[in-house]
Amino acid sequence: MAEGFARALAAAVKAPSPHNTQPWRFEVRGSRIDVLLDPERVLPVSDPGARQARLACGAAAFNLVITLRAEGRRVSVRFLPGPRRLVSVDVPGRREPTEAERALAAAVHARHTNRRPFDDRPVPERARSALVAAAREDGAELHLLDRGARYDAVAALVRRAERLQETDERYLGEAGRWTGRPRGESSGVPATAAGPPASPAPALALREFAGSREMPAREYEQQPLLGVVTTRQPGQDTQAGFAVERVLLTATAHGLSASFLSQPFEVPGTRADLATLFRDEGEPHTLLRLGFGFTTPGLPRRPADEVTTVIEEPGRAEGLPG
């Protein structure tokens, strides 16, 4: 396999995924890399329809593509209907990378989910418009909310979903199996990645992970900037993930931190209410909390070669064309 492919695959596995499950596989065939969903790594309780897992695969595809482009590869991307094969990335030749591509590719290794308190500094207008433009570039929309009736409605749905999950034994069992893991494991979320408990209670419930309770309580920002990513067409989870990763890397490049608030997507009732709230914009896929925070450490990953199959094509020379 060509060296550029190995770097792109190493970037792909840096993508975010629910509880760091890394629900992806990659297949390399000549100048083509396909991204596949790994059904064994879909969370059956919180993500029975694999929507969040497909979103994660879309994010991995974005990292793959941006790294290849930043290294001067011409790349074409096709989203596939699935259910397993989700994206096909073809690398037919070369072209000059842009500065923007280089900046986003550099952000891949610096982006980490930040569950800790942010400060109350508002996100500047320049960064906001860059985030909104980033989502649009890949055919999605980012709706930024920092106050008003819709903000309050979204925050209330997060709190409601959180309350329902707190008493759901199946959900708690699943979350317990994937979080609070000892250091050194290549999947799941270690206790060190949790945020401290919030005191006083902020406007939004930030999910407590195993590990939270061992830390002293801290004050969180009172009203974080929220971002909801939607697509016009329903069922475009993978495309949404591709756009979400561009948004997250753009945020990183602007010195911003982000975390996910997925509770309302994981409870059928609140998912439906969220869909109603954004009915005029399309289908909502994810909810982000954005702001300025201190840097957080990255989490481990399974190495790319553990999740990649190289399929030799008879009679074809190894390596990349061009």
Ligand X SMILES: Cc1cc2nc3c(=O)[nH]c(=O)nc-3n(C[C@H](O)[C@H](O)[C@H](O)COP(=O)(O)O)c2cc1C
Residues that bind ligand X (CB under 6 A): 16-20, 52, 55-56, 112-113, 115, 189, 207, 259-262, 286, 298-299
Quote the DSSP letter at residue 163.
Answer: H
Indicate the residue among 28 and 241 with the shorter CB distance to ligand X.
Answer: 241
Indicate the residue among 14 and 73 with the shorter CB distance to ligand X.
Answer: 14
Indicate the residue among 58 and 282 with the shorter CB distance to ligand X.
Answer: 58
Indicate the residue among 252 and 308 with the shorter CB distance to ligand X.
Answer: 252
Indicate the residue among 9 and 28 with the shorter CB distance to ligand X.
Answer: 9
Shortest gap between Cβ of 126 and ligand X (angstroms)? 24
Shortest gap between Cβ of 278 and ligand X (angstroms)? 17
Shortest gap between Cβ of 113 and ligand X (angstroms)? 3
Shortest gap between Cβ of 118 and ligand X (angstroms)? 13
Shortest gap between Cβ of 19 and ligand X (angstroms)? 5
State which amino acid sits at residue 119: D
Chain position whose Cβ is nearest to ligand X: 16
Inter-residue contact 231 to 240 (CB < 8 Å)? yes
Shortest gap between Cβ of 273 and ligand X (angstroms)? 17
DSSP code string of 18-54? GGG---EEEEEETTEEEEEE-GGGS-TTT-TT-HHHH
CA distance 31 to 280: 40
Give the number of residues written for the chain.
322
DSSP code string of 180-230? EEPTT-SSSEEGGGSPPPBSS--SSPPPP-TTGGGSPPBPPPSS-EEEEEE
Binning the chain into helix, strand and coil, the percentages to the nearest 5 are 40, 20, 40
Indicate the residue among 295 and 309 with the shorter CB distance to ligand X.
Answer: 295
